Structure 1
Amino acid sequence: MDRGMVGRANRGRLHVEVRHHGASAVLTPVGELDHHTAELLREPLEACVDEGYPRLVVDCTQLEFCDSTGLNVLLGARLKAEAEGGGVHLAGMRPVVARVFEITGAEAVFSVHESVQAALADSATE
C-alpha cells in the first residue's frame, strides 16, 4: 500500500489523512465528525473525486463520533463518487459510529467493510 501522505487537515477535534492506493483514495478521519468539523472531511472527499479518484475508502477506525452533519457529508460524497463511476466504502466502523448509520438506514446505501483491506479489495471490482 502506498502510505505516502497526500494531505492532512486539522481543526482541533478532527483531522483527516489522505493517501492513495492504486485507483482508490483512502481517507482517515481521526476524532469527531460533526457540524463544526464536517468541512474538514467534505473538502478532501470532493478533492479526491475531482482529482480522478472516485473510489473512496473511508477508514473509520479512528472516528470517535459522527452526527447527522457528518453523515450528510458522506452521503454527498457518495453521490459525487457514483456520478464519476466510483463509490464510497466505509471500513472499520466503531459501534458508536455504526449506530448512526443503523438508526438512519444509511448503512443500506454504503458498502460497509470490516477493514480497509477488505474495502480496497471490493473497490477494485467497481
Structure 2
Amino acid sequence: MDRGTVGSAQSGRLLVEVRQEGTSAVVTPAGELDHYTADLLREPLEEFLGRGFSRLVVDCSQLEFCDSTGLNVLLGARLKAEAAGGGVHLAAMLPVVARVFEITGVDAVFTVHDTLDAALVE
C-alpha cells in the first residue's frame, strides 16, 4: 500500500496532505481547522468527490483544533459522499477534537475509527 503524500496545501495554522489508498481518498489536516483555514480542507475533499471518490478518510491524528466551520466542512463532505454511495470516515482523533464532536453530537453521524489503519479497512 502506497502511503506517499501526493499533494499538500498550507496556510499558516493548517497543513493538509492528500493521497489515494486503494479506493479511499485520505486527507490529513494538521494544525487548526477554523473559519480562516477551512477552505484548505474543503477544496481537496470536494476535488476527490469530483473525481469520483465516494469514500473519504480524514486522518485526524494531527488535527489540534476544530471549530464549527470545520465541522460544517466535514458535514458537507459527508452529505455529498453519502449521496454518491459512500461516506466520510474519521480516524485517530485527538481527545480535544473528539470532545468537540461529542459535545455537538456530530460524532453520531460519522463513522469514527481509533486508527487510520482501521479506517482504511473496507
**Where does the alignment leave 5 or more consecutive residues of structure 1 unmatched?**
none
Mapped partners of 2:33, 2:119: distance in 1: 21
The equivalent of 1:43 in structure 2 is 43
**Where does the alignment leave 5 or more consecutive residues of structure 2 unmatched?**
none
Q: TM-score, normalised by structure 1?
A: 0.94
The equivalent of 1:27 in structure 2 is 27
**Counterpart AA for 2:34:** D
Mapped partners of 2:4, 2:92: distance in 1: 21
Q: CA deviation digits over 1:65-120, x for unaligned, max 9?
A: 00010000000000011111110000000011001111110000000000011011
Percent of aligned pairs with the same amino acid: 74
Deviation at 1:3, TM superposition (A): 1.8
Q: Is residue 114 of structure 2 the alignment partner of residue 114 of structure 1?
A: yes
Root mean square deviation, CA, Å: 0.7
Q: TM-score, normalised by structure 2?
A: 0.97
* Structural mapping, 1:73-88, within 5 Å: 73-88=73-88
The aligned length equals: 122
